[in-house]
A and B are shown apart, each in its own frame.
Chain A
Amino acid sequence: MSTARHHIVIGSGVAGSQAAETLRDRDPDSRVTMITLSSLPFYNRYDLPKVFRGERDWRRFLVRPPGFYTEQRIGLRRACQVAGVDTRRRAIVLAHNEAIPFDTLLVASGGRSYVPEELSDYRHLMHGFGSFEQAITVAQALPEGGHVVMLGGDMIGLDLARTLIETGYRVTLVAGEPTFWPHEVEAGERPRLLDSLRKVGIEVLDCATCGGVAAVEQGAPGLAARRVLLRDGTEVHGDVVMPFFGLVPSVEFMIGAGVDIERGLLVNKALRTTDETIYAAGDVCQIWSDEERRYRFYYGWKNVRAMGELAARNMTGDADAFISAQDERLQVSTDGQIQSPFWEYE
């Protein structure tokens, strides 16, 4: 019977994939298994707006060729939902009741789009943009030159809005809190940034004046497919409605695992949870910051990638601390474009 260690990575995004590759490099004899809810192998979510430029072939989005995982001896379990982690038996339990034992576990399940609870009744009338499948669905629902109503306005949405405008669609943004997530913007700076959005062609309605969204409804026959009612009585008609209110960590399956959770998994600077065999990396974890004296999230491609690599190194013997190398300032370029360094990737 093999005595090789079994490293399990939950999640196949930037953090999880980087961790799996690092684990394979550093522990060649080990078993590495990556478990993902996605039906596709690791693909580049930053490129999803390209579906509106006509790119609909999933293979073009893959970061690694499909054969890569076999060559690297990384077990890839796609379309698997983790139901829980049994720390007593040191096994993860999948929704179909399969238990997979692990020696070390990395949780890199990332975040899912947050829809404010007051809008939860209207989920079925809104389109998400968190996965390739969702991107294709919304692209198919949107007629050429159609009208997208965005609610919220995080940087994922604003990045998409830029592509939509460039490709001939119309975008109305109902800018609520937290606009520009994950950047924290000073109240005085917000009007200037909203003006920048207007200059690039986005129609902006500020919740500070319109009162926010009261309801999302099916459009009347013959009119646009959706109608958004604002609290000041204004109606906005659009072909699709898309919520962009930032991400919330996907931690539900960890609630019974006995590790500390606030909003995300709480980890020390070495990215270890309160269980010494369980680590976390990426958007799912809150890391202790000595400087700020609090647990905080670190976003951006560079940070997330560094976390994946560091967690893998620490799972295989190192004990290094996470240091952010990410510029967190929101910038406005000379042509009026809002640039988030979080979205820069190699």
Chain B
Amino acid sequence: MPDPLRTLSEQAVATGNAESAAYTSEDLRDIGWVKQNVPCQTACPAGTNVPAYIRDIVERRYGRSYEINRGANVLPGVLGRICSRPCEAACRHGWPGNGEPVAICHLKRVAADMKDSGHRITERLYAPTGKRIAIVGAGPAGVAAAHDLSLFGHDVVIFEREERPGGMLRYGIPEFRLPRDVLEVELHNALRLGVQLRTGVAVGAGPDEIRVSTLLRDYDAVLLATGCMAPMPLPLSGEWENRDPARELSDFEYGLDFLMQMHRGERKRVGRRVAIVGAGFTALDCARVAVRLGAAEVTIHLRTGEDYIPVAREELFEAKREGIRIKGLRTPVSLRRDDNGRLAGVEFVQNRLGGWRPNGRRLAIPIEGSEFFEPCDTLIVAIGQQSVHDFLDVKPDLGRAGAVRVTDSGMTSLSGLFAAGDYVRGALTAVEAIGHGRQIALKIDAWVMGWTRRRAMVRIEPVAAPLRERAFDFIPRQAMPTAPLAERVRSTTREAETGMDEAVAIEEAKRCYLCNLRYQIDVDRCIFCRACIEVAPRNCIKLVKGVEMADDGSCGQLLETKEWNQVGAIWIDNRECIRCGACVAACPVHCISISRCELVDVDV
């Protein structure tokens, strides 16, 4: 018997029918709602369902939390340590007046660290297709694509030039940030569903190397995921113009080469004073490695300033804790040698800040006549990488920036030849590479099969009551514990961040607003008593004449009114709502319902 004093979602949950009351929707408004209202998931290049996995941590269901992560990116334990965290920049908890963003990345690691050792992995396997796909490069994009393509039932072979898989994750990121045992386990799990991994096998145009044209002949599709491995040269003037100092000065290194050589097992040395030029994670990693190799003074030189560089604040803080200095507004223009021909230091020019570049970074404009000199014993340059095409014996069209050109289908100008990750989009973060690898895998599958077999829909499930308490809003962001400074700077392998314990992790997880919960007022049952407005901690419940809808299904402007005779609805503005549930508790007629809205991949 339906209870008129209960919302439909309450009735469904009360009768044990919540699961059966769930349904999937392809209504553009539902898809638009999720994209607009779950900012962390929208910001994640891999589309991770962040609120769902954080909620599972509150419920101590770490294995399930890990699997939610794994459904979006195949390396949660890895990304839980080294992700660039675009989700945290978007987190509603970090919006003005709401405090600090939830430590989404650290909680990802919590799920990976705390799941049972015998944890069961879930994979959705399709029947074998008999299609053969070759992937060149076992970095994050290649591994993510290989994993998804193997689930689709294809026979996948990865060709990797290095001795071990992982690409930049293994050769470009120091062990003190990413322990190799974590990487090994997750790579193994990603590739163990029949992916054939052939390491130490080079694809290229040299002798004994496998030609791309051969792969195109022997496989149904070929994916190039070779990354961006060539360092960007440092543009210098004067005597160094058009010369590569790395060829002439033993104390000049390119950051990525420095890290790769170290991780291949070479013994690296640095001088007493180390200067790093660059603003990304590679520059920061090189600086932290230099400290561990015994440098007394390590300085990172930036063209702009700390506030404009694309690294996580916490990483920057940890680097400073290790004694690394950051100096801004300077660009190297030349190098000086000492009497023995060794590097003596760097000549810089002072910059001022200019406008914004299309990639969202600040421009730095050199100030004429402001050159100055800073001595150093080792200079490491990490100003970016570029892709190279000299391994190709085929000629796909290149774009203006020199990267291979791909269509919307992810395919190059050559039939069956696809490209993903850094190789096609320039130096990406690990999560961007994984996200792109998965997108291209879906497109390769559609191309080899002739139709798209999976697409995103919204699963909507009733929820009986708010899952949060108001008190959760006042929990401060929990810090990631770190190893003692004196110990960690003595080792290039001792992990700097030691991981949250369970109590701290659950406190942090409680902070998540659970933005995937949609609060709605049933206008037909609302008696316009304003009780919900009175208890709302924010300006989140509004009297509106109407609501504009954007073309993508997201909610546009709310047409608010204060005139009672014009009120068309009392509307929960989900952009303002912090999911505290106070309105639900206050409503005397139970007209506010809660539903969990989540993007899911559905077979077509």
Known A117-B320, A263-B328; judge A293-B307 contact (CB<8 A): no
Q: Mark B301-321 against chain A: 1 for CB-CB distance below 8 A, else 0.
A: 000110100000000010011
Flag if A214 contacts B486 (CB, 8 Å): yes
Q: A93-B96, A256-B96 are in contact. List 5 more A-B contacts (CB 8 A).
A: A118-B322, A214-B486, A262-B304, A293-B350, A293-B369
Instruction: Indicate if the CB atoms of A262 and B321 lie closer than 8 Å.
Output: no
- Tell me which residues from 290 to 304 in chain A have a Cβ below 8 Å from any Cβ of chain B: 293-295
Known contacts: A255-B307, A293-B367, A293-B369. The answer to whether A266 contacts B352 by CB under 8 A is yes
Give B19 Cβ to nearest chain A Cβ, in Å.
Answer: 39
A266 touches B353 (CB 8 A): yes
Chain A to chain B: the 3 pairs with minimum beta-carbon distance, closest first: A293-B370, A117-B320, A117-B321
With A118-B321, A294-B350: A262-B329 Cβ-Cβ less than 8 Å: yes
Pick the contact of B328 from A83, A97, A120, A262 — CB < 8 Å? A262
Give, as a whole number of angstroms, the nearest-CB distance from B403 to chain A: 31
Interface centre among B304, B320, B353, B367 (most CB of A within 10 A): B353
**B contact residues, total (Cβ < 8 Å):** 20
Q: Does A40 contact B (CB under 8 A)?
A: no
Complex alpha-carbon distance, A120 and B320, angstroms: 10
Q: Taking CB as reference atom, which chain A residue is nearest B370? A: A293
Q: Is the CB of A83 within 8 A of B485?
A: no
A97: nearest chain-B partner, CB-CB:
B97
Q: Is B204 an interface residue (CB 8 A)?
A: no
Q: List 27 A-B contacts (CB under 8 A).
A: A83-B96, A86-B96, A93-B96, A93-B97, A95-B97, A116-B320, A117-B317, A117-B321, A118-B320, A118-B321, A120-B321, A260-B353, A261-B305, A261-B307, A262-B304, A262-B328, A263-B305, A266-B353, A288-B352, A293-B350, A293-B367, A293-B369, A293-B370, A294-B329, A294-B350, A295-B329, A295-B352
**Nearest CB in chain B to that of A86: its residue:** B96
Quote the shortest CB–CB distance from A276 to chain B (angstroms). 16
* Complexed CA–CA distance, A86 and B95 (Å): 12
Q: How many A-B residue pairs have CB under 8 A?
A: 48
**B329: which A residues are within 8 A, CB to CB?**
262, 294-295
Q: How far is the CB of B300 from chain A (nearest CB, A)?
A: 14
Complex CA distance for A263 and B327, rounded to whole angstroms? 9
Which chain A residues numbered 83 to 142 have a C-beta less than 8 Å away from chain B?
83-84, 86, 93, 95, 97, 116-118, 120-121
B323 touches A (CB below 8 Å):
yes
What is the size category of the interface that chain A forms with chain B? 20 to 34
Distance in angstroms between the alpha carbons of A288 and B317 in the assembled complex: 28
Find chain A residues with CB under 8 A from B350 CB.
Answer: 293-294
Given contacts A262-B328, A294-B370, contact A118 B323 (CB under 8 A): yes
Do A118 and B97 contact each other (CB < 8 Å), given the known contacts A260-B353, A262-B328? no
How long is the Cα–Cα vector from A84 to B96 in the complex, in angstroms? 7
List of B residues within 8 angstroms of A288 by Cβ: 352
CB distance from B279 to the nearest CB of A (A): 13
Give the distance to chain B from A230, nearest Cβ to Cβ, in Å. 12
A294 to B320, CA, bound (A): 24
Interface-central residue, A214, A256, A293, by most chain B CB under 10 Å: A293
In the complex, A109→B156 CA distance in Å? 60
Tell me how far the C-beta of B88 lies from the nearest C-beta in chain A, rounded to whole angstroms.
15
| A288 vs B365: C-alpha distance when bound (angstroms) | 14
In the complex, chain B residues 94-147 whose Cβ is within 8 Å of any chain A Cβ: 96-97
Whole-angstrom distance between the alpha carbons of A93 and B97 in the complex?
Answer: 8
Residue of B317, B322, B486 with most partner-chain A CB within 10 A: B486
Bound Cα distance A274, B369 (Å): 23
CB under 8 Å from chain A, chain B span 485-518: 485-486
Q: 1/0 per position for A221-251, CB-CB distance to B under 8 A?
A: 0000000000000000000000000000000
- Distance of A84 Cα from B98 Cα, bound (Å): 12
Contact partners of A274 in chain B: CB under 8 A: 353
CA distance A93 to B98 in the complex (A): 12
What are the residues of chain A within 8 A of B320 when measuring CB–CB? 116-118
Docked complex Cα distance between A93 and B95 (Å): 12
Inside 8 A of B317's CB, which chain A residues have their CB?
117, 120
Residues of chain B lying within 8 A (CB to CB) of residue A97: 97
Expressed in whole angstroms, the Cα–Cα distance for A205 and B370 within the complex equals 37
> Nearest B residue to A119 by beta-carbon distance?
B321
Interface mask (B346-385 → A, CB under 8 Å = 1, otherwise 0): 0000101100000000000001011000000000000000
Residues of B within 8 A of A84 (CB): 96
**Chain B's nearest CB lies how many Å from the CB of A285?**
14
CA distance A265 to B96 in the complex (A): 20
In the bound assembly, the distance between CA atoms of A266 and B486 in angstroms comes to 36
User: Using Cβ atoms and an 8 Å threshold, which residues of chain B touch A295?
Assistant: 329, 352
Q: How far is the CA of A13 from the CA of B97 in the complex (A)?
A: 25
Q: How far is the CB of A115 from chain B (nearest CB, A)?
A: 11
Q: Which of A95, A117, A120, A214 has the most CB of B within 10 A?
A: A117
Those of B289-307 within 8 Å (CB) of chain A: 304-305, 307
* Most chain B CB inside 10 Å of its own CB: which residue of A95, A118, A121: A118
Smallest CB separation, B290 vs chain A (Å)? 16
Q: Could you tell me the distance between the alpha carbons of A215 and B321 in the complex, rounded to whole angstroms?
A: 13
Docked complex Cα distance between A42 and B347 (Å) = 44
Contacts of A117 in B (CB 8 A): 317, 320-321
Minimum CB–CB distance from B309 to chain A (whole Å) comes to: 12
A295 to B352, CA, bound (A): 8
Q: How far is the CA of A262 from the CA of B367 in the complex (A)?
A: 15
CB distance from A214 to the nearest CB of B (A): 6
Q: List A contacts of B369 (CB < 8 A).
A: 293
Whole-angstrom CA separation of A263 from B322 in the bound complex: 19
**How far apart are A85's CB and chain B's nearest CB, in angstroms?**
10
Q: Give the CA-CA distance A281 to B380 in the complex, in Å.
A: 37
Q: How far, in whole Å, are A81 and B305 apart by their CA atoms in the complex?
A: 25
CB distance from A165 to the nearest CB of B (A): 31
Closest-by-CB residue of A relative to B539 is: A97
User: Quick one: closest B residue to A262, CB to CB?
Assistant: B305
- For B322, the closest partner residue in chain A by CB is A118
- Complex formed: what's the CA distance from A294 to B350 in Å? 6
Task: Encode B81-98 as 1/0 by CB contact (under 8 A) with A.
Answer: 000000000000000110
What residues of chain A lie closer than 8 Å to B97, measured between beta carbons? Answer: 83, 93, 95, 97
